[in-house]
Structure 1
Amino acid sequence: MNPCIENEQDELARIVREGLLQPVFQPIVDFRARALLGYEALIRGPLHSPLQRPDVLFSAARAAGLGLDLEHACREASLRAFARLQLPGRLFLNISPGALLDERLMNGTTRTLLGELGIAANRLVIELTENEQITDLPGIHEALLHYRGRGFQIAIDDLGEGFANLRMWSEIRPEFVKIDKHFVHGIADDRIKYHFVRAMQDLGEICNAALIAEGIERVEDFECIRDMGIACGQGYFIARPDKAPARQLPAEIAGVLERHRVTLSPTALHAGRTRTARLLLRAIEPVASGASNECVFARFEADASLEVLPVVDGARPIGLINRHSMVDRFARPFQKELFGRKSCHQFMDPSPLVVDQNATIPELAMMLSVAPRHYLFDGFIITGDGGRYLGIGSSHDLMAMITEMQISAARYANPLTQLPGNVPINEHIDRMLATGNGFVVAYLDIDNFKPYNDTFGYRRGDDVIQLLGQLICEAVDGRQDFVGHIGGDDFFVVFQSADWEARSWAIVERFAEAMATMADDELHALGGYMAENRRGELVFQALPTLSIGVVRVAPGEYESHREVAAAAATAKKQAKKLAKQAAADQGAVRGSAHGAVFVERRRAGGDTAAPRLN
C-alpha cells in the first residue's frame, strides 16, 4: 500500500476513535420571518491535521472504505455540539443517499441519541447530497417514508449542479431545495442566472418546496434573492461557518432586511443601457506564444468543451487555434510526431477577429456579417484597455443575446430608448405597493417639444428623446431607482433614493444645459426660434425644457398602479403649468425658465403642494 494512503487511514482511524471531529455551523436566514431558520452542520478535521479539510477527510474515508463510518461519526458529533450550544431552529445534516440505508440510521440509534440530547425530530432536516449515484431509488423512497413518519424533513442540495438532483426533486418531493451557489453568486447583475433561479422558484411553488439560496457573498445578491421572494438564504455575507455561531440574526443582516429596498432585476438593470461585447465574455486561459502543439492538443483533450484556444504574446492576443482543425491535422499519419514539439504558431489563425470589450452588440454583429465565414465558427477575442486579452466570445452567444434583445424589445421595451415600457412600469409599481414601503414616482414630460419636432424634423426630435433617457439613467441610482419610457417624450421614474428631489432637479438642469449645446448659437442666444403655431401663425417658440410632476407614495395610500399613474399625471400637469407661468413672469417672448418640478404633498400628509421653479 502507498505509505501516504496508509498514513491517511491511520490518521482517519485516530480522529474517529478519539472523537476529534470539529463540527461547525453556518446560519440560514428565513427572509419571510426575518429571523434564523436554523443551521447547516459542516465538519472539519483537527487543526493542523493533514485531514483538516473536509474534502480531503471524506476522500480518505471513501478510499479506505470507511465512508459510512465517518458519516455516522460526523452525525453524532454535530448533534452533540448542536445540543451543547443550545442553538435555535432547525439543524440541516448532510447525508449521502447511501447512508440513508445504513442500519445505524435506520435501527433507532439516532432516535435514541435525539432523546438523550433533548432534540425534537421535527427540528432535523436530512440534506441529501449528490456525491454518489443513486442505485436504489425504491429503497431511498422507503427510507424517506420511514424518516418522515418520525418527524424528519428532507432537503436536496446543490440544485442546478447536475441532472440527478432534478430527478430527486421530482421523485422525493423535499420540503427544502438548496440552489447551487453558481446560480446565486452575481445574480444581481446576471440576467441569465436571474431567469434560471426564477424558473427554480416556479418549480418550488408547484412542488410546495421552500428554496434556500446558497453561496450569498454580496449585499447586492442578498437583496436580489430576497426581493425575488426566495424563502431562505445562506452564505458568507450572512455568516461564515463557526464552532460557536451567533444565536440571533447578525445586526448587519437585520439592518439590510429592515431597510428592505426593492432591488431591480438584472433585466431592468440592463434595459435602456447599451449592451456590449463584455457581456459575452468567457474567461479562457490563453496559450503562451511559445507553447508547443503537444501542449495545445493536451488542453483540448483535457477539456471537451473547449472549441478554440487564444494565443497570446504577453497580454496581447496574436492568434486563435480551432479545436477541430487541430484534431483533424493531428489525426493524419505522422503529423503528431512531426509537428507535436513545434510551435503552436503552425496551426493558429494569425488574423482572428479581435473586438474591444466596449463594442456594442449591433457593431459586433455587423463585424461578423462582413467577416470571412470561418469567424462564425471560431468566434472572436475580446480585449480590454490597451488591447489586453480578456477572453473570448462565441457567435452562438451573440445570436442568443440578439434574439433575447429583440424579444424583450418587442414585448416590453420602448423601441427608441430600449427602456422598459408601460407593462414593466405597471408591474414594478405594483411590486413596490406590495412591499408596504413608501416610495416616490416622477412623471417627466418635455415642454415645447411638438413645435421643435415639427420645425427641425423627427430625427432631431428623436435625438432629444434619447438624450433625455440617457440623462435620467445617469442621474438615478441604477440599483434601486426604476426608469421607464411611457412613449413619445414622456418618461417615468420610481424612486427609492432618499435624495430623489435633488436628482430630479439635476435632470432638469442637465437637460436645459444639453438643449443649449444642441441649439445653434443664434437660437441659443435668443432662447428659441420662430415657427408656426397650430393656427399657422409665425410666433416665437422657446427651446424645449423639462417639467416633472412628483408624487410621494405612502404605505397603504394607493391600491394599484392605476391610482399611482393617475396621481402622477395630475402632478405632471401642475408642473407644466408652473413652467408656463415662469415663462409668462419673465414678460418676454424671448425667454423661459429652465424647467419645473412640482411635488404633490397633500396626500402624503401635508396641506399644500410644494412647487419649485428653476
Structure 2
Amino acid sequence: MDDKQQLLNRILEGQHLTPVFQPIVSLIDGKTYGYEALSRISQKELEMNIEEMFRTASKHNKSWELETLCRVKALEHSIHMERGKKLFLNVNCNIIYDNAFREGFTKAYLQKYGLNSNDIIFEITERVSILDTHAFTSAVDHYQKQNYGIAIDDVGAGYSGLNIIANARPDLIKLDMNMIRDVHKDETKQLLIKALSEFGKNAGILVIAEGIETEAELETLVSLGVGYGQGFFLGCPDPEFKDISKDKADLIRSCQAKSYIRKNKTSLYPMAGYLSRSGNTFSPYEKALKIYETLQNDPSITEFTVTESGAAIGFMTRTSLFEKFGGRYGFSLNSKKSIQQLTTKNFLSVNYDMPVNQVSKLAMQRHYDQLYNPIVVEREGNYWGIVTIKDLLEACTKVEVDTAMHSNPLTGLPGNLIIDQEILFRVLNDAPYCIIYFDIDNFKSYNDAYSFQSGDMMLMLLADILRRAAVKSEFIGHIGGDDFIVICDYHEAETYCEKVIEYFSHRVSSLYHKDDMDRGYIISKNRRGITEEFPIASLSVAGISNRIKAYKDIEAFSVEIAELKKKCKRQTGSYYEIK
C-alpha cells in the first residue's frame, strides 16, 4: 500500500474532511444564488492535495466512499444556510444513477437537515466519460422530476460538450475556468461564451462562469450577458455561508449598468473601442513574401496592421499588398523586403474612447483612395484593434433612429429613456459632470389661465433658451411637462444657470398680458377650485456635481437631487443652487 493510499484511508476512517462553501452570485445584481460545497482536509498531518486525493480514490476504487463523505459533511453544515439559497453538490457522472446514491437523497433524508429537493443542485462533472448514457439520462430525468436541479460542470473542458447538454437538458451549465481565464484579451473566447450565454437564455438554462479572478474578467463576462459567476475575485471558499462583500456587489451592479449603457446608449455615441475587433497584426521585420503567401492561403484577411512594442506603426490592405507583388517586376522587387518597407505610415488611428460620430467625420475627411479603409483603434498608446466603416455607419444610424424615437414631440429634445442613460453614464464614471434640473414655477396656474397652447409656448421658450445658453455641447433633455434637464461635462455650471435665468426673465414677459405683468401676478383658480393670486413664472434650478462628492450608484444620486429640488422650490422667484 503506497503512502497516498494510506493517507486516503486515514482520512476516510477518521472522516477528517470539513466542508467549505463558495458563493455563486448573480452577475446582474450581486445577490447570492447558492453555494458550491467543496472539501478541505481537517488534519494538518494528513495534508494532501484535494485533486490528488480524488485521483487516489479513483485509482483504488474509493470514489464512492470519498464522495459520500464529502456530501454528508456538506449536508450536515447546510442547517446554517439561508433558506432559498441553493446548495451545489459535486457528483461523478457515473455515480448519479447508482441506486445507493438515489437512496441517499430521499425526502426523509433531506428533512433531517431541514432541506428539500428544491434546495439541492447536483453538479455533475464529466471529466471522465459516461459509461452508460441511457442510465445517466434516465437518472437526470428522475431527479429533475423530483425537483432537484442539475448542473453540468466544466463545460468546455474534458468530455463536457454539447452532447451531454443536449441529452441531459440540465437546469444550469458551468463554464470551465480555462474559458474564463483572460477572457477580456481573447476574442474567440468572448464569441464562444456569448454564444453559450444566448443559447442558455433561449433554452431556459442558467449559465455560470467559474474561476473569475480579476475585475477585467468580471466586466467582460457581464458585457457578454453571462447571468451568474463564481471565483476567488468574488468570494473565496469559507466554512461559513458568506455572501460576497458589498464592494463586489456594487462593482457587479456598476459593470451591469456600464454594459447596459454601451449596448443601448443613443444620444451619446458609443466609443470606437466598443465597436472594434482585434484584427490581424504582423511584426515590421516579417518578410513581405511570407505575409503575401499567408494572405493567399487565408482570404479572410482583408487588411492588417504592423505593430512594434505594442504600438501601431503601419497599415496595409490586402489589395495594396497584392498590387505590390503584381505586374512584371513586382515580385522580384518586393519579395525580399520586410513588410515595414511596404506599408503606409499615413493611416487613420483614433483613441479607444473617441465617440464614433467623431471617428466617422475623420474617416470621411481622408483621401478618396483610403476612404473606406478600416480605422486603427489605440488605447493608452498601444494597438487595440480596428473598426470598419460599415460598423461606424450602422452605429451612427442607430443613434439617429433611436434619438428620433425617444424625443419629446413638443420640444424635440431627448426624452426620459435617453435622459436616464445619460445620467447613469455620468454617475458611474469618474469624469467631471454637473446634472441640472430646471422646473418652471407656477406653470400650472399659467397653463390654466392662458390655455394649453400658451403653456406649450412657454415650454418651447425654455427649450430654446436652454439651447441658446449652451456653450460646451451640453446635453439637454425634456423630462416631461415643465421639467427639463441639462448635463454639463464640467463642474462649474453656475454661469450657465445664471444665463438661463436671465434669458427666461427677459423673454417670459412676452407670453403674459400687459396687465398681468404690471400687476406682477395672475389671478387663477388653484387645484381646489379657489381663486388665488399666482406670481409670474420663474425657474427653480437644482444642480448636482461630482466636484466634491462622487456617487457610487444612481439611488444615492437620486435621493440627494430630490432633496435639493425641494429646497429650490421653496424659494421665492428664480433661484438656483449647485452642490
Q: Residue deviations 1:361-387, cap 9 Å, x none?
A: 1122233345467757651112345x6
Whether the aligned pair in 2 keeps the contact of 1:29 and 1:233 (CA below 8 Å) is yes
- Which residue pairs with 2:484 in the alignment? 491
Question: What is the aligned-residue RMSD (CA, Å)?
Answer: 7.0
Secondary structure of 1:267 counterpart: helix
Q: Superposed, which structure 2 residues align to 1:204-215 within 5 Å?
A: 207=204, 209=205, 212=208, 214=210
- Which residue pairs with 2:576 in the alignment? 595
**Distance of aligned partners of 1:446 and 1:219 in 2 relative to their CA distance in 1, 3 Å threshold:** farther
- TM-superposed deviation, 1:39: 0.7
Whether the aligned pair in 2 keeps the contact of 1:361 and 1:402 (CA below 8 Å) is yes
**Relative contact order higher in (CA < 8 Å, ≥ 6 apart):** 2
Q: Residue deviations 1:408-440, cap 9 Å, x none?
A: 334446699999734678999xxxxxxxxxxxx
Q: Residue deviations 1:324-382, cap 9 Å, x none?
A: 77689889999999966641135534433222334321122233345467757651112
- Which residue pairs with 1:249 in the alignment? 242
- Which residue pairs with 1:408 in the alignment? 402
Q: Superposed, which structure 2 residues align to 1:200-349 within 5 Å?
A: 203=202, 207=204, 209=205, 212=208, 214=210, 233-240=229-236, 242=237, 245-250=238-243, 252=245, 256=249, 264=257, 266-268=259-261, 270=265, 272-283=267-278, 286-293=281-288, 296=291, 307-314=302-309, 316-322=311-317, 342-345=337-340, 348-349=343-344
Tell me the distance in 2 between the aligned counterparts of 1:411 and 1:321.
Answer: 40
**Distance of aligned partners of 1:218 and 1:114 in 2 relative to their CA distance in 1, 3 Å threshold:** same
- TM-score norm. by structure 2 comes to 0.55
Matched, 1:80 2:74: no
Whether the aligned pair in 1 keeps the contact of 2:273 and 2:353 (CA below 8 Å) is yes
**Distance of aligned partners of 1:173 and 1:329 in 2 relative to their CA distance in 1, 3 Å threshold:** farther
Tell me the distance in 1 between the aligned counterparts of 2:320 and 2:40.
Answer: 48
Tell me the distance in 1 between the aligned counterparts of 2:71 and 2:162.
Answer: 30
Secondary structure of 2:494 counterpart: helix
Secondary structure of 1:533 counterpart: helix
Tell me the distance in 1 between the aligned counterparts of 2:438 and 2:193.
Answer: 30
Tell me the distance in 1 between the aligned counterparts of 2:193 and 2:478.
Answer: 23
- TM-superposed deviation, 1:518: 8.8
Tell me the distance in 1 between the aligned counterparts of 2:39 and 2:369.
Answer: 50
Structure 2 gaps of 5+ residues are: 12-16, 42-47, 79-85, 185-190, 423-434, 444-455, 521-535, 545-557
Letter in 1 for 2:270: R
Matched, 1:364 2:389: no
Letter in 1 for 2:483: D
Q: Residue deviations 1:103-149, cap 9 Å, x none?
A: x654546558889xx88995764445687999998676345335657
Structure 1 gaps of 5+ residues are: 1-12, 45-50, 187-191, 429-440, 472-483, 494-503, 551-563, 583-592, 598-613
- TM-superposed deviation, 1:533: 1.6
Q: Residue deviations 1:234-256, cap 9 Å, x none?
A: 2323323x5xx332214735995
Matched, 1:462 2:467: yes
The number of residues matched between the two structures is 477
Letter in 2 for 1:266: S
**Distance of aligned partners of 1:252 and 1:292 in 2 relative to their CA distance in 1, 3 Å threshold:** same
Tell me the distance in 2 between the aligned counterparts of 1:380 and 1:320.
Answer: 9
Letter in 1 for 2:286: A
Tell me the distance in 2 between the aligned counterparts of 1:266 and 1:180.
Answer: 23
Aligned residues: percent identity?
A: 18
Secondary structure of 1:547 counterpart: strand
Whether the aligned pair in 2 keeps the contact of 1:414 and 1:421 (CA below 8 Å) is yes
- TM-superposed deviation, 1:307: 4.9
**Distance of aligned partners of 1:150 and 1:425 in 2 relative to their CA distance in 1, 3 Å threshold:** same
**Distance of aligned partners of 1:345 and 1:139 in 2 relative to their CA distance in 1, 3 Å threshold:** farther
Tell me the distance in 2 between the aligned counterparts of 1:357 and 1:407.
Answer: 24
Whether the aligned pair in 2 keeps the contact of 1:515 and 1:544 (CA below 8 Å) is no
The equivalent position to 1:513 in structure 2, one of 488, 495, 498, is 495
Whether the aligned pair in 2 keeps the contact of 1:271 and 1:418 (CA below 8 Å) is no
Secondary structure of 1:279 counterpart: helix
Whether the aligned pair in 2 keeps the contact of 1:511 and 1:545 (CA below 8 Å) is no
Tell me the distance in 2 between the aligned counterparts of 1:108 and 1:249.
Answer: 34
Letter in 2 for 1:408: D
**Distance of aligned partners of 1:425 and 1:234 in 2 relative to their CA distance in 1, 3 Å threshold:** same
Letter in 2 for 1:80: L
Letter in 1 for 2:260: T
Matched, 1:533 2:538: no
Tell me the distance in 2 between the aligned counterparts of 1:312 and 1:331.
Answer: 25
Whether the aligned pair in 2 keeps the contact of 1:26 and 1:40 (CA below 8 Å) is yes
Tell me the distance in 1 between the aligned counterparts of 2:103 and 2:372.
Answer: 63
**Distance of aligned partners of 1:509 and 1:350 in 2 relative to their CA distance in 1, 3 Å threshold:** closer
Letter in 2 for 1:247: E
Tell me the distance in 2 between the aligned counterparts of 1:255 and 1:353.
Answer: 39
Matched, 1:93 2:90: yes
- Which residue pairs with 1:500 in the alignment? none
Whether the aligned pair in 2 keeps the contact of 1:309 and 1:320 (CA below 8 Å) is yes
**Distance of aligned partners of 1:408 and 1:254 in 2 relative to their CA distance in 1, 3 Å threshold:** same
- TM-score norm. by structure 1 comes to 0.53
- Which residue pairs with 2:389 in the alignment? 395
**Distance of aligned partners of 1:19 and 1:417 in 2 relative to their CA distance in 1, 3 Å threshold:** farther
Whether the aligned pair in 2 keeps the contact of 1:353 and 1:381 (CA below 8 Å) is yes
- TM-superposed deviation, 1:310: 1.4
Tell me the distance in 1 between the aligned counterparts of 2:226 and 2:310.
Answer: 42
- Which residue pairs with 1:421 in the alignment? 415
**Distance of aligned partners of 1:146 and 1:360 in 2 relative to their CA distance in 1, 3 Å threshold:** closer
- TM-superposed deviation, 1:52: 7.8
**Distance of aligned partners of 1:262 and 1:529 in 2 relative to their CA distance in 1, 3 Å threshold:** same
Whether the aligned pair in 1 keeps the contact of 2:37 and 2:88 (CA below 8 Å) is yes
Whether the aligned pair in 2 keeps the contact of 1:36 and 1:248 (CA below 8 Å) is no
Whether the aligned pair in 2 keeps the contact of 1:28 and 1:37 (CA below 8 Å) is yes
**Distance of aligned partners of 1:398 and 1:469 in 2 relative to their CA distance in 1, 3 Å threshold:** same
